[in-house]
Amino acid sequence: MRFFLRRLMFYAVALWGAITLNFLLPRLMPGSPLDGLMARLSPAQLSSNPHMVDNLRAYLGVQKQPFFQAYWHYVGQVFTGNFGISTSNFPTPVSDVIGRTRSGRCSGCSRPGGGAASSTTSSRRR
């Protein structure tokens, strides 16, 4: 029983560390995800809609909140399964991107559920 509790505590601390690191890294990097989206737009698109930046900021959930309030909001969103909107596959939700990847429909994968690790382990069994 003691071994099980130690393992459970280890995984709880590892999960907390991963969530905290995932929260901190994008906020410590220069720029913002909004900058990447704005770079994809043409000057004509930006000038035709002067409130586009505000609309994108609201859509992505980028608000000016105190640090700890933003952290607890982020943790709540993670535990409810709301990971937000993907900036690389805009406007697809991140949960849809994860679902496509886990079901084997990933464009970067060599075969469903596979990859370099699967082929390596199968060759060791021979």
pLDDT tens figures, 65-78: 788 888 998 899 88
Distance in angstroms (rounded) separating the CA atoms of residues 62 and 55: 10
pTM score over 0.75: no
Q: What is the mean pLDDT of each run of 10 residues along the chain (126 residues)?
A: 94 96 87 76 78 77 79 90 78 83 61 46 45
Task: Report how far residue 59's alpha carbon sits from residue 93's, in angstroms, rounded to the nearest whole number.
Answer: 11
Residues 6+ apart with CB under 8 A from 91: 59, 85
* CA distance from start to end of the chain: 38
